[in-house]
Amino acid sequence: MRNRKDIRLQLLQNYFSIRGNEATLMLVYDSFEELINQNFGGDSIQKLNDKLFSDINEAVALLPRKFKLNLQIVIKDFGEYTQAECAEIVKQNIYLTAYRTIKADNQKLVSGWSLIGIGAAVLVLSYFLRNYDLWFDLINISGTLFVWEGVNMAFLERNLEHKAIKKLARSIRNITIESDGQAGAQIS
């Protein structure tokens, strides 16, 4: 009977081309326009919808840590875009996704500390109402929940997201965009 590593490697080889510690995944799309979010931005920037990033996140989640991921994005029809324009659009959207992630992270930190502060104030209030059993218990429980949720948001959730983002950043070695028969434009 084969061990789990061999079974996992065999399963991964169904989706990835594996050489040593590098895994290459080919993502194939019919047209570049299916990746564009038509409702966002204007002519100055094209925002991609979540389809490409969802596929990339799924690929990273499937791979064990030891593998570096090479993404080959194959687009059958570039439409009105050139291959270089597509590579630039993907690069700009990677930056936009990183900005959005950092902004959400900062908002969670501020919200978490706000909840901790509110919880601490409620717990101080419960100290003054300790002679009234029912009110003391209600306010004490409420304050504890605020502090608990604040700590969860400010520290625990952010830590898990940091690990996921670091894994994504460490896992991707390079990304190329190509059509069916042409060499790819590499995104740095």
> Residue 130 corresponds to which tokens in the numbers above?
């300790």
Q: Using the 8-state DSSP alphabet, how is residue 48 labeled?
A: B
Q: Is-contact 87 73, C-beta < 8 A? A: no
Alpha-carbon gap, residue 134 to 120, rounded angstroms: 19
Estimate the crossing angle of helix 50-62 against helix 83-128, to 10 degrees: 80
Q: Which domain holds residue 48?
A: 4-187
Q: What is the predicted pLDDT for the residue at 1?
A: 47
Q: What is the predicted pLDDT for the residue at 74?
A: 86
Q: Report the domain count for the chain.
A: 1
Q: What is the predicted pLDDT for the residue at 167?
A: 67
Q: What is the predicted pLDDT for the residue at 116?
A: 92
Beta-carbon contacts of 112 under 8 Å, excluding residues fewer than 6 positions away, are 149, 150, 151, 152, 153, 154, 155, 158
Residue 121: HSE in the Cβ half-sphere, 13 Å Cα cutoff: 6
Q: What is the predicted pLDDT for the residue at 113?
A: 93
Q: Mind listing the pLDDT tens digit of every residue in the chain (188 residues)?
A: 467 777 777 777 787 888 888 888 888 888 888 888 777 766 666 788 888 888 888 877 777 778 888 888 888 888 888 888 888 888 888 888 878 888 888 888 899 999 999 999 988 888 887 777 777 788 888 888 989 999 888 888 777 776 666 666 666 777 777 777 555 555 65
- Cross-strand bridge partners of residue 176: 72, 186
Phi first, then psi: give them for residue 64, nearest 5 degrees.
Answer: -65, 160
